[in-house]
Structure 1
């Protein structure tokens, strides 16, 4: 269905858990993180009910996120059941890749079409410094396995000044020989992310243009995705830019978000939405849930206000919202 600004909202991002097996410096604190109690998180049946209702309103694409979604034990069963809901055309996953290699074959059988892997460094020491707990070899192995299985791979990369910003061209070069996309995502000032200074995608694109010839601009994706793309000559993959800070793309936004505790968010930036868990556990009918989601979709805000002061700014960490 369309919101009041005429945007077709057909994409639901579902956070399966706020827990993660990494502690990335712009996402979570190293210690003393507060996590939702297990009884406060949506059950599999509750998630399926929300997806089913959302599909009736025109949602076609589902992305499972976290925290780290692969730490949830029932993810394969959940994905398989979502895949069988009428109206759902594609299920995708956003993951840090640590557990992906051991589960990807089962996930593909359950309906997985594509995976976004968060990867901010190709150097073992820097990767460990950024993630605090990560093993780069496991992520690289998962990437290769996904490519072998024919699963579409996109790498989500956040560049931080004086940290990993010397690796920009290393990531760009991955697209030459590997059939994957590298997407540079501007650091968002959410939670602990506000402690660091990101690199603008304009600066990244200028660096690429200064180092490569015959760069082709690729038409924006028809599915309403946020990335704009370029491609190097004869490269197998593309280079994407998600520029939420320097170049607001809200006019094309086609998504709503569901946190692991059942809060339906209309926009990443704002803290308002609706508590679907409370409605579900309070005995609300399917029609009641449908009407609430319908109202939230229709009243989705026109744009985020990341660069402006706002009383409604989201203060939760990214793992609590859903990456």
Structure 2
């Protein structure tokens, strides 16, 4: 096991694995937001390929968490196999980020395979607002998937990207929905990724804006930030907790511990980097150590600076 760290003391302890670049939604911050299905015609990467890379990385880094992303990871055919494989590798925390469109039927299988936690991307609970953000109908499918996951004993959290002029009026309905079900919720400032790389500012609804909106209905106090956390958290007078991922307003790069692996066998130390570091055909610890050092150098000193990479390709 190597002692990988930079001058800021950052290490890699959380691995985010992008299983595929296919999604069954067309969210406007991830794609151009049209009504077509974002289908990747390439064959899906075999589970064995992912598991080999994850095992090599874990041996070097002693990973604490693996989170599966996409695209939409529930569209990956061998998802149960990779979850079971990561459990056998011995990584303690296995999580997934999903739009939950298919979660109703998948949740029991994932729980049995070893999954512990689900982050659901939900930007609206109102049907029309949901369509405006995702270009799809039937938000009820997502809500049903959340209910099923909770019944299965999976930990559920909500992630809600807030875009000024599109869904910022959904903040309180989303908050009420989460509070009613005792589900933690985090609101996300828009990230300058993909087609929004140079125009995210026009949609930015800041942490302050979000707090002012919530303050119109709830009284709350700020909680201490945990090390390497992406979100700041507050607690209402009733004991309910919500978070904000403030990429622009309050960056968290200084103690980020995340490493990303895509479906082509490339690692990235930061979403701000367009430069993949391939770990395909790595045979020695020394080779992998050099690759990891390259990825570590991609981490930003102060804040996320944006990238032309699409969220569809690398996940959030």
TM-score (norm 1): 0.88
How far apart, CA to CA, are the structure 1 residues paired with 2:38 and 2:149? 33
Structure 1 residues 1-323: aligned runs within 5 Å: 1-4=3-6, 5-29=8-32, 30=34, 38-39=42-43, 42-56=45-59, 57-86=61-90, 88-193=91-196, 194=199, 196-213=202-219, 215-222=220-227, 224-235=228-239, 237-276=240-279, 279-280=280-281, 284-287=282-285, 290-303=288-301, 306=304, 314-323=307-316
How far apart, CA to CA, are the structure 2 residues paired with 1:64 and 1:107? 12
| Structure 2: runs of 5 or more not aligned | none
* Cα-to-partner distance string for 1:209-263 (whole Å, 9 max, x where unaligned): 34323x13223235x221111122234x421110111111111201011122222
| Farther off after superposition, 98-107 or 149-158 | 149-158
- What displacement does 1:150 show? 2.3
How far apart, CA to CA, are the structure 1 residues paired with 2:259 and 2:23? 22
- What displacement does 1:275 show? 1.7
Instruction: Look up the SS of the partner of 1:23 in the other structure.
Output: coil
Kindly indicate whether the alpha-carbon contact (under 8 Å) linking 2:231 and 2:245 is maintained by their aligned counterparts in 1: yes
- What displacement does 1:36 show? 5.3
How far apart, CA to CA, are the structure 1 residues paired with 2:284 and 2:82? 20
CA shift in 2, pair 1:112/1:148, >3 Å:
same
Kindly indicate whether the alpha-carbon contact (under 8 Å) linking 1:61 and 1:91 is maintained by their aligned counterparts in 2: yes
* Cα-to-partner distance string for 1:130-185 (whole Å, 9 max, x where unaligned): 11124201100111112222211111111111211112111222343222111011
How far apart, CA to CA, are the structure 1 residues paired with 2:52 and 2:222? 41
How far apart, CA to CA, are the structure 2 residues paired with 1:31 and 1:141? 23
Aligned CA-pair RMSD:
2.2
How far apart, CA to CA, are the structure 2 residues paired with 1:248 and 1:295? 22
| Structure 1: runs of 5 or more not aligned | 308-312
| Farther off after superposition, 296-305 or 153-162 | 296-305
Kindly indicate whether the alpha-carbon contact (under 8 Å) linking 2:25 and 2:38 is maintained by their aligned counterparts in 1: no
| Farther off after superposition, 28-37 or 291-300 | 28-37
TM-score (norm 2): 0.90
- What displacement does 1:289 show? 5.2
Instruction: Look up the SS of the partner of 1:112 in the other structure.
Output: coil
Kindly indicate whether the alpha-carbon contact (under 8 Å) linking 1:226 and 1:252 is maintained by their aligned counterparts in 2: no
CA shift in 2, pair 1:304/1:109, >3 Å:
farther
How far apart, CA to CA, are the structure 2 residues paired with 1:125 and 1:185? 20
CA shift in 2, pair 1:286/1:91, >3 Å:
farther
Question: How many residues are matched?
Answer: 308
* Cα-to-partner distance string for 1:7-29 (whole Å, 9 max, x where unaligned): 13200000000000111111112
